[in-house]
Structures are given as structure tokens and as C-alpha cells.
Structure 1
């Protein structure tokens, strides 16, 4: 069942407290990176300064300053990463999705334990999809050929119609000529008889 806009907004508001928790956890992890840094780490540098410049190095103060500075730099970089990439919204979205699909938690998603029909379903669906696309291309080709054939058929019908019209016209002319000949036939026979009488 799909969630409405109000349900989604309510779910986002419900999980907003995850953001400060994650940010705090990152800041603590960054602080822990430099927690083990001690004065012993700078003893070699102190000995060099004593030998070269006859100067004592206050390692405790430098270590504290180094810890604070490096922690501050990494924390700023972490905040920029969160802000630029919209991590806050993505964290809330992740929590909403985890809540929505909690009913699937603990299920066995091992693909080797599912039935062969389910295992091969994606491949079969892809093949069916390819077959459908092939048949669609075939139908498009046949449609194009059908349209071309219909165009030729229409042109041939027009030629036949023109021939039929010409045939009707010629038949009318022939019938008219035959009628004139039939009317003239007695006169021609009379003239023929007169010529024979004169001879």
C-alpha cells in the first residue's frame, strides 16, 4: 500500500533525530583518531632542536595544539561533506526505508536456496522483453510494407478506373457510330440500287 505525502512527511519528521546522533558519532570518531597522540611522538624532533638550535621543545603544548587543530580541520571537512552531499536527508531517507521494509528483516536472501523458476525469472523476463521488442520492430516493418502496398493498390485502382471510364466513352462513341450507320444504311442501299439501274 503506497504512502501519501502526509505519511512520508510524518516519517521524515519522526527520524530527524538521527542526524545529530550521526554527526556526533563522526565527531567523536575524529577526536578518537588523535587521542593516542602523545609527547613521545615528538621526542625525536625535540632532540634535533636541542642539538641544532639549543632550544627546548614544549612537546605537551604542541601535542595539545596539534590535536585541536587536526580535529578542527577534519570536523570542518566532515561538515562540508555532509552539507554538500545532502547526507542529512539521505540518512533520514535510509531510516524511513529501513522502517518501511522492516517486515523483510531476517529473511533468507540467498539466491541459491530459491526455486529454479525464481532464480531464472530475471533472465526469462529479459528474453521475453527482447522478444517483444523484436516483434514490435517486425510489426513496424510490416506496417510500413502494408502502407506501401495500399498506396500501390490505390494507384492501380485509379488506373483501372480510368481505363473503365475510357471503355465506357468508346462504347458510347461506337454505339453512336453504329446508330448513324443504321440510319444511313437504307439510303446507301437505295443509292446502290439507283446506280445499278443506271448501268
Structure 2
């Protein structure tokens, strides 16, 4: 039933597009109607002074008026055809007719529940909280990357120190065993 009403309203308003287009064309025709040769008097004086000839301002104004009107009319035609204005105007008028019963209604905002009234604020607050937490997580991830890099560098340094200790320990053991051998030989000679 609503579809039939909608289609009927659309068909009723289908003719509004050409009417609006005619009104625009008429208004465009009047835009440059006020141009006159007196608008170019200052240019005419300068031209006559520098060129030593007469400037036909009436012809210039007429050609300018017709050219500008033609250009604006073509732009208007392209706008109407490229944007499907006639159908959109018919749709707009149909919607205005269908929802006319709501025009001027006093929507009682105070009758809404507090949860409904504050929902946009709460949602915005949650959005800000999420955004803040995301930024904190990004900062913590960067700090974690830096800490991990430092930790890996320290582990590498500690491993190098440990390797050096093992090497030194081996050298000390070798030296000790050499000293023991020398000590044993000295003790044998004394006997």
C-alpha cells in the first residue's frame, strides 16, 4: 500500500523538473540583461587615448552578453543532465508530501530516557577512551621495542663477557698446570 502511494506521489511530481529548469533558464537569461555599454566607458576612453580609434562598446556588450548567457545555460544544462536533477526534484517533492504530517511537530526531547539523551556523549567518550588507549598501546609498543633492543644488546655484551671469562679461566688453568709442572721439576731438583 505504501509503495503504491509512493509511486503515485512520484508520478504526480514528475513534471516539476522541467518547470524548475525553465525557471532557471529564465533567471539565467536575466543575469546579464543589465550589462550596458556604459559599463565599458572607462575602457573606451583608454582605448581611444592609446589606439587613436573608436571602441564599439555596444557590439562588445551584446557579444559578451550572448556568450556569457550561452555558457551559463550550457553549464546549467550539463548540471541538470549529469546529476539527474529532474528525478531528484520529483523524489524530493514526493518525500515532502509523504512526510508533510510531521512538519512542525514538536519532538519532545525531554520525554526521552536519560540513556537516550546521553548516548551520543557516552559514545563519544568511549571513542575518546579507545583512541587514548590505542595511543598508549602504541607508545608502550615503541618503549617495548626499545627495551627489547637494549636487552638484546646487554645479553650480547653479557655473553661476550662470559665467553671472555671462560677463555681466561682456560688460560689460568693452563698457566696453573704449567706452574705446577715447573714447581714439581724444581722440587725434584732440590731433592
Return the TM-score normalized by structure 1.
0.53
**Equivalent residues, number:** 123
Tell me, in whole angstroms, the C-alpha distance in 2 between the residues paired with 1:128 and 1:43.
Answer: 65
1:158-197 map, 5 Å: none
From 108, 116, 119, the counterpart of 2:106:
108
> What residue is the counterpart of 1:3 in the other structure?
2
1:37-186 map, 5 Å: 37-108=35-106, 114-118=108-112, 120=114, 122-123=116-117
> CA 1:69–1:95 in structure 2 vs 1: closer, same or farther (change >3 Å)?
same
Structure 2, unmatched stretches of 5+, are 124-191
Can you list the C-alpha shifts for 1:20-50, whole angstroms capped at 9, x where unaligned?
1111121222222212211111111211221
Can you list the C-alpha shifts for 1:131-188, whole angstroms capped at 9, x where unaligned?
xxxxxxxxxxxxxxxxxxxxxxxxxxxxxxxxxxxxxxxxxxxxxxxxxxxxxxxxxx
Tell me, in whole angstroms, the C-alpha distance in 1 between the residues paired with 2:113 and 2:65.
Answer: 54
Structure 1, unmatched stretches of 5+, are 130-199
Tell me, in whole angstroms, the C-alpha distance in 2 between the residues paired with 1:85 and 1:65.
Answer: 30
Q: C-alpha displacement at 1:69, in angstroms?
A: 0.9
Root-mean-square deviation (Å): 2.7
> What residue is the counterpart of 1:144 in the other structure?
none
Tell me, in whole angstroms, the C-alpha distance in 2 between the residues paired with 1:37 and 1:119.
Answer: 61
> CA 1:93–1:120 in structure 2 vs 1: closer, same or farther (change >3 Å)?
farther
Can you list the C-alpha shifts for 1:80-127, whole angstroms capped at 9, x where unaligned?
111112211110000000110111223335xxxx25232756446679
Can you list the C-alpha shifts for 1:55-92, whole angstroms capped at 9, x where unaligned?
21221222121111101101111111111122111100
Whichever of the two has the greater Rg, that structure is 1
